[in-house]
Chain A
Amino acid sequence: MIVDDRAGNRWRAILVAATALMGAIALVMVVGYAPTDRVQGIVQRVFYFHVPMAWTAYLAFLVVLVASIGYLWKRDLRWDAVARASVEVGLLFTTLVLITGSLWGKPIWNTWWTWDARLTSTLVLWFTYVAYVMLRAYTPDLERGARFGAVLGILGFLDVPIVHFSVQWWRGLHPTPVVVRSDPQLPPEMQVTLLVSGIAMLLLYATFMAYRTRLELIRDQNGLLQENREVAGVAPA
């Protein structure tokens, strides 16, 4: 188990510093560098947080998928710790995506919420990973919880494309992608700002993951120590 490693502490400190620096640069660029959208006005600036957070949330759930497969394959609780951490961080980002989307939607679409394909997919994803957190909380046995979590982590991510397409067929209102295409519609200043915000968000995800995974590993180690004490007939600490 990786719990007390000085090299790890140093890397985590560097990660925090890099995240803070990149976050500050992104903030300055969002406020002072990127031009104000002529149609949407100042509310468009939420886009520099909303879109990178959505990317990061999807990345987090992709990590859950990979870690879940890794756990079922190797039966190493470190994979499970990564999955647990990524679910929680992904859930945080998804929550913020939904909130910032609503803040943008009210002035632009004149509604806080609509059953658009991407909104619905994101909400379904949010519910799926809330269910993951509940499942882990209601399954006290660590090993069994890890297995169940891995199964749900795989099913939940497999569901993402099919949810997306089903809702897209059902309804489609969300703005079409304006960045990932051969003829990007964004002005260069906006593109650079979005890119910097994206990097800052990825660093923030990495920082959260580094600390959260470590915490989960410590927790697992404590649980195993407790179990060993019980086996050895030592009174619980």
Chain B
Amino acid sequence: MALRDVTLAMAAGECVALVGPNGAGKTTLLRALTGVLRPTRGEVRLGGLELDRSPALRRTIGFMGHNPCLYSDLTPRENLRFYGRVYGVAALEHRIGVVLAETEATAVADRPVRALSRGTQQRVSLARALLHEPWVLLLDEPDTGLDQSAQDRVAALLRRLKSEGRAVLFTSHRLEWAETLADRAIVLRDGRVGDEIAGPRPLALAARYASPVGTGQAPSPGGRAAPESGAPASAIASQVAPPHVTAARLSPSGRSSAPGILTQLVAVVAKDLLLEWRTKDAVAAMLVFALLTLVTFNFALDLRPEVMAAVGPGVLWVAVVFGSMLGPGRSFIREQEGGTLDGLLLAPLDRSALFLAKLAGNLLVMAVVEAVSLPAFIALFDVRGALGPMALVLVAGTVGLGAVETLLAAVAAHTRAREVMLPVLLLPIIVPIVIGVVQATGLALGSTTAHDLPWLGLILAFDAMYLAAGIAVFEYVLEE
């Protein structure tokens, strides 16, 4: 849903309900306010700072969407541990205990998320949004899937957060529930702000909700699009009222600190490896595919020694390339299918760091596959030669291959034919490195007739070029 001319300002300690029919643009607006969705025009400012230019400000936002942004094969505690590390939450285990208790999810903290009910997942998702003690809370239908008592407890929690000076913007289709919480309600319809209503006036809200945009009713006190007397905590507009809240005021509570990039990187890699360890849905397929490739070529080719020497390096790298293609693709498809990519994009995690983290995870999985494939290749193809240099070529080649695969897998995962797009995109691009590694492997095995050219230099140049390209353009790939 497209948004048109939406200007919204919120003060610290204010609770605003965003209401409107399905398709009115509520979710789009919330996602734009988080910075996950980049508006075509306009900007989001927090305490006067532009969110788009200060990604670290994402630490001040807690978002709960329709999708819980939880890894279904991890437990709530593991999910919170991961997000806590990425957000740089101090005394993390204690804080996890606190938010689990606040959302009454302690009892299910160590069960896999996929085994939890919709309502329980919703509560854990709220715990995730609260974990880093954000000053701005954006909650998309936080009451969905909750029974009456859980809704009451969430309402009490939101009131407490508001009393702490946090700005809360939430959507709901339950108007009575929304009005008991909100200081102000904004009616959104067809991507435009229809009305603003201040104060708890249930009947008025219900009436405005049903009426078309621009019915001519007078705007409520405070006025449409006008900032409240306090500070604008968030806004999407071409013109934004001057801020009254400093960036320091908007930083998360004292117990959190800006996380180091290495800490975030390790957190993402550890999470990816833990997921892979639990599911084994990439490494198993990659291994089987690589081994099947070796075996198939071994059956198909005439195995006289001179043929062996000529084709061996090529066969090894075809197996590595084909096997490795399955991993990065699976990693991104898993993030996308589970809706967890949003969770990563919401985090104050630099996109380049995310690229490097995803690459590191992919390289580790590829290393496992190669560790099994290489002995199988040596045995099946009766290879003799300098295994040390060959291992060096394998490592250098895998880095370049992994960099291109990681970047293009993120692209392919967002296409309609994501299962088939990665090979189509990848194979033409990796031709140079495939030539390089095959020739270098042949040299290492003493089986190539090629001139003694600096193949390793070519491989390293390819690695450097695509690592740099990945770091530079990954943010454009992930952008919504």
What is A's interface to B at a CB cutoff of 8 Å? 72, 75, 120, 124-125, 127-128, 130-131, 134-135, 138-140, 144, 147-148, 150-152, 154-156, 158-159, 162-163, 165-167, 169-170, 227, 231-233
Contacts and interface: CB of A to CB of B under 8 A. Distances in A.
A148 B409 CA distance: 12
Interface centre among A144, A148, A156, A167 (most CB of B within 10 A): A148
Contacts of A134: 417, 421, 424
Q: Give the secondary structure class of B's interface.
A: helix
A138 B411 contact: no
A127 B2 contact: no
The 6 A-B residue pairs whose C-beta atoms are closest, nearest first, are A127-B428, A166-B432, A138-B415, A128-B428, A138-B416, A162-B432
Contacts, number: 98
Contacts of B4: 231
A156 B424 CA distance: 13
A143 to B, nearest CB: 8
B476 interface: yes
B474 to A, nearest CB: 9
Interface of B: 1-2, 4, 40, 190-191, 404, 407, 411, 414-417, 421, 424-425, 427-429, 431-432, 435-436, 439, 450-451, 453, 455, 458, 461-462, 465-466, 469, 473, 476-477, 479
A83 B416 CA distance: 21
Given A152-B425, A162-B458, A166-B435, 6 more contacts: A131-B425, A151-B407, A155-B466, A159-B431, A163-B432, A170-B439
A148 B411 CA distance: 7
28 contacts: A75-B40, A125-B428, A127-B427, A128-B429, A130-B424, A131-B428, A134-B417, A134-B424, A135-B421, A135-B424, A138-B417, A139-B415, A147-B479, A148-B477, A150-B476, A151-B476, A152-B425, A155-B429, A155-B469, A162-B461, A162-B465, A166-B432, A166-B436, A167-B431, A169-B439, A169-B450, A231-B1, A231-B190
Contacts of B424: 130-131, 134-135
B62 to A, nearest CB: 26
B227 to A, nearest CB: 26
Contacts of A127: 427-428
A147 B462 contact: no
A147 B476 contact: yes
Contacts of B411: 135, 148, 151-152
Given A135-B425, A158-B465, A166 B414 contact: no
